């Protein structure tokens, strides 16, 4: 190998290393941007959720209805009157919990941030609503997969509970 060929090989190796370092930096930057965007979207969701009067009133009513029952019985009886305040409140809470669960399960919402903020609330709502969800699935309405993302999220959180950080 001549000295000229030797330097061509060295330059080719250096160019290849620089190319791969650049690709790695680009990948890292894109990954970091995605993670930061997801965290920001999650924080915005939390802020929206905390200031959403309709949702908060629906959660309060759902809690009241559930606490009036024994062993958090099925609340699906309130779906008989589609225009009732109770029906609308239950649908609001169920649909919101499903929306968030879909976002988390599809990696659009940062699970760790949301879990830190709403772990107890989500598990409480599942306790209040699981019999209702099972009744919706078993009914003749034809919704065998209703709120399955919410259930999937709760089951994962129950297997991996929030750890004490203090």
Residue 94 tokens read as 């169920």
51: confidence class by pLDDT, cuts 50, 70, 90: very high
Say yes or no to pLDDT of 115 above 80. Answer: yes
Residue 1 has pLDDT above 90, yes or no: no
Give me the pLDDT at residue 27, please: 81
Q: What's this model's pTM, rounded to 2 decimal places?
A: 0.79
What does pLDDT average to over the chain? 88
Tokens of 79: 């779906």
E strand or H helix at 84, and its extent? none
pLDDT: is 70 or 29 the higher one?
Answer: 29
Measured distance CA(110)–CA(107) in Å, rounded: 7
Question: Rounded distance, CA 104 to CA 112, Å?
Answer: 9
For 118-139, the pLDDT digits (tens) are: 999 999 999 999 988 998 888 6
Instruction: Break the chain into its structural domains and give their ranges.
Output: 1-51, 53-166
């Amino acid at each position: 190998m001549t000295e000229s060929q030797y330097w061509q090989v060295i330059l080719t190796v250096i160019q290849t290393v620089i190319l791969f370092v650049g690709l790695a930096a680009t990948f890292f930057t894109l990954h970091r941007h995605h993670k930061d965007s997801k965290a920001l979207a999650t924080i915005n969701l939390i802020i929206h959720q905390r200031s959403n009067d309709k949702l908060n009133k629906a959660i309060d009513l759902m809690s009241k209805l559930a606490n009036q029952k024994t062993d958090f019985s099925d609340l699906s009886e309130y779906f008989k009157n589609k225009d009732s305040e109770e029906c609308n409140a239950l649908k609001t809470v169920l649909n919101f919990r499903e929306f968030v669960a879909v976002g988390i399960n599809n990696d659009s919402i940062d699970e760790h941030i949301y879990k830190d903020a709403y772990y107890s609330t989500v598990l409480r709502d599942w306790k209040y609503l699981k019999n209702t969800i099972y009744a919706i699935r078993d009914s003749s309405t034809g919704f065998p997969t209703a709120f399955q993302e919410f259930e999937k999220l709760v089951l994962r959180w129950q297997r991996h509970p929030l750890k004490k950080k203090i």
